[in-house]
Amino acid sequence: MATMTKWKVQLFKLNYDQREKQAVSDVLDSGWITMGQKTIDFENAFSSYLGEGVQSIAVANGTAALHIAVLALGIKAGDEVIVPSQTFIADLNAVRVCGAIPVLADITNESDWSMDPIDIESKITEKTRAILIVHYAGYACDMDAIMKICEKYKLPLIEDCAHAPGADYKEKKLGTFGDVSAWSFFSNKNMSCGEGGMVVVKDPALYQSCKNLRSHGMTVASFDRMKGRAVSYDILSPGFNYRMDEIRAALGLVQLDKLPESNGRRKELTQRYFKNLSGIPQITLPFKYFNRGEASYHIMPILLDANLDRALIIDKMREDGVQTSIHYPAIQGFTAYKDIVGETPKAMLVSMRELTLPLYPTMTDSEVDLVCQSLIQAIGSGKVG
């Protein structure tokens, strides 16, 4: 029977303390654990944090947020949506389950893995109905260029902000540029609720459409009926059960309060990685010279030289007790997508050579140093042949 690896440095650890425990306990003591006042409070707090007159809708997870965003914009079978090539598969899944066709746009270059605005524009056809971007690793895309493209072709923009809570572009918070933004509060995200997500919009009509999709198209929530504010309800349109519960909303409120400090610590750790790993010829450090705003430093990705055996390096670091990951495998290799997406050479190259190092707010400087030492030693033994 296989034994579980005992990590010296995990890829991620929760930034939880007594505040999260107390928040959950308060919800349990309240006797109401499905969507209610805590969820409303979380939505309002998140909207206030982002500013720009946005409204927020708490949902079950980030994929639900993306699905709602695509549906609310009226994307249907046969439509095309330009999507990132360097991303988690949820972006494409949200488009595909609506019957639409995802069209991949490549990254900018080996040092900047954000979507390339030039490639985005080159992929626009008469069937294009929206552009979906991701702020990979919490670093803003070139929003000036992307917004000009959206305006030129009159295309709505969806921002996938799963990596980007707290990040900005020229002092304007990410998630406030597009027609809709989708957020994830999965366990390893900058705001960790286990599961959970948020849909953020400005337009009142679009807000109502997203809200209807969240909860069966119902006009009145269970919480309102429990409070005696209504006895029945109408169904305005078909919808889903994509609601957030009170426990996750309570966790989200605490995590939102911690976000500035935790992102600040992520930045310090990232800068230490940059310092420790700079000058090593077998490694490229993407976003090292990023200057488009303040990042959220969600993950610590590096690019290995082509002559290195990534699998061997992962194994060597595992032997040292250091956990690593890959963000992300090439979409072109997935069975569900290999026959319907085109090539994106720069992103495909990154997918074969990317390695994600541990990064989380409670990580210590000495743990960063340990990871770097393990990586450098592994590189010494990781050459092909």
**Which residue out of 8, 170, 172, 189 is catalytically annotated?**
189
Element (H, E) at 168: strand 168-169
Exposed/middle/buried for residue 375 (C-beta within 10 Å: 0-12, 13-18, 19+) = buried
Active site residue 202: no
Q: Which of 188, 299, 206, 196 is nearest to 246 (CA)?
A: 196
Q: How far is CA 72 from the centre of its chain?
A: 20
32: its two tokens:
């109401």
Instruction: Identify the CA nearest to 198 among candidates 58, 72, 91.
Output: 58
CB 249 within 8 A of CB 243: no
Contacts for 4 with CB less than 8 Å, ≥ 6 apart: none
Residue whose entry in the numeric block shows the structure tokens 């002092």: 171
Q: Which residues contact 102 (CB under 8 A, 6 or more apart)?
A: 80, 81, 83, 91, 92, 95, 96, 337, 340, 341
Helix (H) or strand (E) holding 172: strand 172-173
Residues 6+ away with beta carbon under 8 Å from 349: 110
Q: Residue 21's CB: how many other CB atoms inside 10 A?
A: 12
- Residue 268 burial (10 A CB sphere; 0-12, 13-18, 19+): middle
**Sign of torsion over alpha carbons 99, 105, 111, 117:** negative
Q: Which two tokens stand for residue 167?
A: 């990040």
Q: For residue 258, what is the enclosing H or E element?
A: helix 246-277
Q: Which residues are catalytic?
A: 189
